[in-house]
Amino acid sequence: MLRVNAQPALLEVLEAMPDGVVIVDQHGRIVLVNREVERMLAYSRGELLGQTVEMLLPVEMQEAHVGHRVAFVADPHRRAMGEGLSLLARRSDGSTFAVEISLAPANVSGDDVVIAIVRDVTAKRQVETELAEARQRVLLAEDHERIGRDLHDTVIQRLFATGLTLQGLLATVPEAAKAKLERVIDDQDDAIRELRTAIFGLSEKRQVGKTLRTVVSGVVDESQRVLGFRPNLHLDGVLDIVDAGVMTEVVATLREALTNVARHAVAHHVDVSLVHDGPSLCLTVSDDGQGIPTSHRLGSGLLNMQDRAERLGGTCTITSVDGRGTSVRWEVPLAD
């Protein structure tokens, strides 16, 4: 048995250490522990001394550890803390927690012993898990962004070009075929709308933490690729307090309106205004394009914008004059 009484200086050093210290003899019996071990494992010193070190391990690991211990005694060597091992220690109540353990053979007062430094790494493991999950979320968001960008820059642009070609053919086809061609164009509009909805869904996660002001500015910047110019943007009022549900509808409506301008208006100038004035939020998109013919029914895109407003208790008004442009005014109430 280690003659601990002959080593008062050693005991003072061990008691001051922030990590747990367990010293065992060649037979695996615990001969000394410091107060940190008592705190971590909820054992008293008297309960530990003289017991085999396996009592500090989960029950299912105890038998295998005896073999590891015997092998270590036969070939003693230093083992650094945290060598990639996933280790557990067992408290007096049977609960377990993650630890890192370093081992070092030593000779104290003529006795060969093994000194084990035990460190509770529960918090460290939790941080590592959270970091791994965060990295996975970043990779997923980057993948979503890439897919959304590819869909927007390739598939939707081709559909836009095809739609414009079909619209140009309307004036040249027989009247009997014109209605069928218009239905094809409407179906294509619906396909583009569904694609844009999917892209918006992919990008929603990237918008977490962003304000309405920031997101709307980004949508206006993106529209330059399909319009050929950047719309004028006017923002007014306190926009940073708009909740996520309203923000989703505002952004979807703005995308719909700008897409309609690109598809149908043949415009050279677009004004976008978003104003939070008192109890309401008002989005206005105006262009100087060819307008909506009085004989033309409202497309599903414009009807979607009206539905979005009505779901929030608001209104959507479309004003258009042939040859003089179109204005969409979308207004919803905001809760206090």
Helix, strand, coil percent values for the chain (each to nearest 5): 55, 25, 25
Mean per-residue pLDDT, 275-298 = 84
Residue found by looking up tokens 């929030």 in the block: 312
Task: Specify whether 151 is located in the same domain as 30.
Answer: no
Mean per-residue pLDDT, 225-253 = 88
Domain end position, chosen among 120, 141, 174: 120
Task: Specify whether 87 is located in the same domain as 142.
Answer: no
Distance of alpha carbon 22 from alpha carbon 114, whole angstroms: 8
Distance of alpha carbon 166 from alpha carbon 263, whole angstroms: 11
What's the pLDDT band for 263 if we cut at 50, 70, 90? Answer: confident
Task: Specify whether 152 is located in the same domain as 251.
Answer: yes
Q: Is the pLDDT of residue 149 over 50?
A: yes
Mean per-residue pLDDT, 222-245 = 87
Q: pLDDT > 90: what percent of the chain?
A: 40
Edge-first strand listing for the sheet containing 111-120: 30-33, 20-24, 111-120, 96-108, 87-90
Mean per-residue pLDDT, 206-220 = 78
User: Domain count of the chain?
Assistant: 2
Collapse the DSSP code of 8 into the 3-class scheme (helix H, G, I; strand E, B; otherwise coil) and give the result.
helix
Q: Which residues 6+ apart lie within 8 Å of 124 measured at CB?
A: 98
Q: Which one is predicted more confidently, 250 or 1?
A: 250
Task: Specify whether 148 is located in the same domain as 112.
Answer: no
Q: How much is the pLDDT for 250?
A: 92
Task: Specify whether 16 is located in the same domain as 156.
Answer: no
Domain end position, chosen among 70, 104, 120: 120
Q: How much is the pLDDT for 297?
A: 58
Task: Specify whether 67 is located in the same domain as 15.
Answer: yes
In this structure, what CATH number is given to the domain that contains residue 28? 3.30.450.20
Q: Kindly state the tokens that stand for 229.
A: 């110019």
**pTM score, whole prediction:** 0.47
Domain end position, chosen among 120, 140, 161: 120
Q: List the domain range (segments joined by +) for residue 36.
A: 4-120
Distance of alpha carbon 305 from alpha carbon 101, whole angstroms: 63
Task: Specify whether 49 is located in the same domain as 14.
Answer: yes
Distance of alpha carbon 218 from alpha carbon 223, whole angstroms: 9
Q: Which one is predicted more confidently, 75 or 163?
A: 75
CA atoms within 13 A on the CB side of 106: 14
Distance of alpha carbon 267 from alpha carbon 263, whole angstroms: 10
Q: Which of 125-129, 195-199, 305-309 is modeled with the greatest confidence?
A: 305-309
Of how many residues is the chain composed? Answer: 336
Q: How much is the pLDDT for 232?
A: 95
Q: Rounded to 10 degrees, what is the CA torsion of 38, 41, 43, 46?
A: -50
Range scoring the smallest mean pLDDT among 147-151, 198-202, 269-273: 198-202
Report phi then psi at 300, rounded to 5.
Answer: -65, -25
The pLDDT tens digits of the residues spanning 83-109 come to 667 789 999 999 999 999 999 999 877
Determine how many CB atoms are found less than 10 A away from the CB of residue 39.
Answer: 11
Distance of alpha carbon 156 from alpha carbon 327, whole angstroms: 24
Task: Using alpha carbons only, give the angle 99, 104, 110 rounded to the nearest 5 degrees.
Answer: 135
Q: Is the pLDDT of residue 1 over 50?
A: no
* Residue 128 contacts residue 100 (beta carbons within 8 Å): no
